[in-house]
Amino acid sequence: MADGAPTPSAPPAPAADATPMIAQYLEIKSANADSLLFYRMGDFYEMFFDDAAVASRALGIALTKRGKHGGEDIPMCGVPVHAADDYLQRLIAQGFRVAVCEQTEDPADAKKRGPKSVVRRDVVRLVTPGTLTEESLLDARAHNFLTALFRAPAKENAEPSCALASIDISTGELIAASVRLSDLPGELARIKPGEVLVGDDMAGDAEIRRLIDEAGAAMTPSPRAHFDSVRGERALKERLGVAALDAFGDFTRAELAALAGLLTYVEITQVGRAPLLRPPRKEIAGSLLVIDAATRANLELARSNQGARAGSLLAAIDRTVTAAGARELASRLASPSTDIDLVNARLDAVAYLAGEPRLRQAVREALKAAPDLARALARLALGRGGPRDLGAVRCRHPRRPRSWSACVARRRGLGLPRELMGIVERLAAAPIGIEQSLAAALHEELPVNARDGGFIRKGFNGDLDEHRALRDGSRQVIAGLQATYADATGVKGLKVRHNNVLGYFVEVTALHAPTLTKPPHVETFIHRQTMANAVRFSTPELAELEARITSAADRALALELDIFAKLVGEVLGQEQALSAAGAGLAELDHYAALAELAAEENYVRPKIDGSLVFAVDEARHPMVEQNLRRGQGAGFIGNDCRLGEESGGGTRILVVTGPNMAGKSTFLRQNALLVVLAQAGSFVPAKSAHIGIVDRLFSRVGAADDLARGRSTFMVEMVETASILNQATERSFVVLDEIGRGTATFDGLSIAWAALEYLHEVNRSRVLFATHYHELTALADKLAHAANATVEVKEWRDEIVFLYRVVPGAADRSYGIHVAKLAGLPAPVLARAGEVLNELEKADGRPKPTDLADDLPLFQATKPAPGLSEPSALEQALGALNPDAMTPKEALEALYRLKTMLESEA
Ligand X SMILES: Nc1ncnc2c1ncn2[C@@H]1O[C@H](COP(=O)(O)OP(=O)(O)OP(=O)(O)O)[C@@H](O)[C@H]1O
- Binding residues for ATP, by number, are 658-665
Q: Which residue number has the CB closest to ligand X?
A: 663
The DSSP H or E segment spanning 886 is: none
Taking the complex as a whole, how short is the minimal distance between the CB of residue 679 and ligand X, in angstroms?
A: 23
Residue whose CB is less far from ligand X, 150 or 636: 636
* Cα–Cα dist 780/677, whole Å: 29
| Nearest partner of 873 among 840, 843, 903, judged by Cα | 903
Residue length, the chain?
Answer: 906
CB neighbours of residue 482 within 10 Å: 14
Report whether 53 contacts 59 (CB < 8 A).
no
CB neighbours of residue 154 within 10 Å: 9
The conformation of residue 870, written as its DSSP 8-state character, comes to S
Report whether 352 contacts 416 (CB < 8 A).
yes
Report whether 307 contacts 709 (CB < 8 A).
no
Residue whose CB is less far from ligand X, 183 or 601: 601
Residue whose CB is less far from ligand X, 589 or 738: 738
Taking the complex as a whole, how short is the minimal distance between the CB of residue 350 and ligand X, in angstroms?
A: 25
Taking the complex as a whole, how short is the minimal distance between the CB of residue 239 and ligand X, in angstroms?
A: 51
Residues of each annotated binding site: 658-665
Residue whose CB is less far from ligand X, 485 or 636: 636
Q: Which residues pair with 179 in a beta bridge?
A: 162
Residue whose CB is less far from ligand X, 147 or 639: 639
CB neighbours of residue 418 within 10 Å: 14
Taking the complex as a whole, how short is the minimal distance between the CB of residue 636 and ligand X, in angstroms?
A: 4
Sheet of strand 503-509: strand arrangement: 495-499, 503-509, 534-538, 526-530
Sheet of strand 639-643: strand arrangement: 607-609, 688-692, 614-619, 639-643
The DSSP H or E segment spanning 648 is: none
Q: How far is CA 901 from CA 150, 190, 799, 821, 875, in A?
A: 73, 58, 17, 20, 10
| Nearest partner of 205 among 219, 193, 191, judged by Cα | 219
* Cα–Cα dist 490/156, whole Å: 102
Residue whose CB is less far from ligand X, 610 or 633: 633
Taking the complex as a whole, how short is the minimal distance between the CB of residue 670 and ligand X, in angstroms?
A: 8
Taking the complex as a whole, how short is the minimal distance between the CB of residue 792 and ligand X, in angstroms?
A: 11
Taking the complex as a whole, how short is the minimal distance between the CB of residue 605 and ligand X, in angstroms?
A: 22
Residue type, 411: R
| Nearest partner of 904 among 884, 880, 874, 883, judged by Cα | 874
Taking the complex as a whole, how short is the minimal distance between the CB of residue 646 and ligand X, in angstroms?
A: 21
Residue whose CB is less far from ligand X, 298 or 331: 298
Binding residues for ligand X (CB under 6 A): 624, 628, 636-637, 639, 658, 660-666, 804
Crossing angle between the packed helical segments 462-489 and 540-573, to the nearest 10 degrees = 160
Residue whose CB is less far from ligand X, 559 or 619: 619
Taking the complex as a whole, how short is the minimal distance between the CB of residue 637 and ligand X, in angstroms?
A: 4
Residue type, 654: L
CB neighbours of residue 889 within 10 Å: 8
Taking the complex as a whole, how short is the minimal distance between the CB of residue 656 and ligand X, in angstroms?
A: 9
Residue whose CB is less far from ligand X, 263 or 662: 662
Residue whose CB is less far from ligand X, 110 or 628: 628
Taking the complex as a whole, how short is the minimal distance between the CB of residue 684 and ligand X, in angstroms?
A: 15
Q: Where are the beta strands (DSSP E) in 620-757?
A: 639-643, 653-657, 688-692, 696-701, 733-737
Residue whose CB is less far from ligand X, 45 or 636: 636
The conformation of residue 759, written as its DSSP 8-state character, comes to I
Sign of the Cα torsion 768, 773, 774, 775 reads negative
* Cα–Cα dist 885/878, whole Å: 14
| Nearest partner of 675 among 720, 762, 733, judged by Cα | 733
